[in-house]
Amino acid sequence: MTITTKQLGDAAEHFVIGELGFAGVAASKMPDNWKGYDIAAARPDRLGLQSISVKCRNQASGWARAVYLPDDEFDWLAFVYLDSAGARRSWLIPRAVCDLEFGAWSVKGVTHRALHVKRIIKKLARFENNFALLPDGSDRARRLDNGGTVFVTCPDDGVSDGIVTWDGEAELMTSGAVPGVLERKPRFRRADLV
C-alpha cells in the first residue's frame, strides 16, 4: 500500500500532537489548509498559544528539506524526517532560529526558506525531540563527541534530567523528559559536561 503525501502529512501532525501531549504541552490540530501553521499548543507554565508548522519528508522523496514561506505565521517549525529504513526523527525549532539558519531562495519570483535535513541534523541537533518547546533546546540535551547524549539540569525550571554524579564522574541514565533517546549508558568525565 502506498501512502500519499496527504496521509504522510496528517500522520506527522498527529505524531507531533501526541508527543507534545506526552511532554505536558496541550495541543490541537488546526483545520486543513489553515494559513501558516498546523497546530496550536500551550505550555501550562507559559502564557499564550504557540503556533507550530509541521513539515514531513522522507528520504525516498529526494526532497529532504524543511521549507516554509517567509510570510508563514508560526512560532515553531516541527520537522519530521523518515529515513530509508523507516526510522523517524523530529525537531521542534523556534521561528527565530529558522529565520537565522534557513537559506532563502526564489522560485518563479516567490521566496522560500529551506534547510536540508543533513544541515538540520548537524546544526540544530539541540532541537531534536524538543517537544517541551524549550526556546534554546540546548539545556535539555547535549551531544558528546563519543556519540552519547547527556541530559543536564535545565536552568529554566531547575529540573534534573538524569545526571548522577559521583567523585567527578557521571553515568548517563534514561530521561523521562525525552523518552527513547538513549540506547546505551556511556561513562564520561565531569569535564565532558562543560
Tell me if residue 20 falls in helix, strand or coil. helix
Return the H-helix or E-strand segment holding 17: helix 5-22
CATH topology of domain 5-127: ECO RV Endonuclease; Chain A (3.40.600)
Return the pLDDT at 15: 97
Domain assignments of the chain as residue spans, ordered by start? 5-127, 142-193
| SS3 call for 29 | strand
Residue-wise pLDDT tens for the chain (194 aa)?
Answer: 677 888 989 999 999 999 999 999 999 999 998 888 999 999 887 768 999 999 998 876 566 788 888 888 999 999 999 887 878 999 999 999 999 898 888 888 888 888 888 888 889 999 999 999 998 885 444 443 434 444 443 333 433 344 333 233 333 443 444 333 333 334 333 344 43
In order, the DSSP letters of 64-111 are -EEEE-TT---SEEEEEEE-TT--EEEEEEEHHHHHHHSEEEEETTEE
Give the pLDDT of residue 61: 58
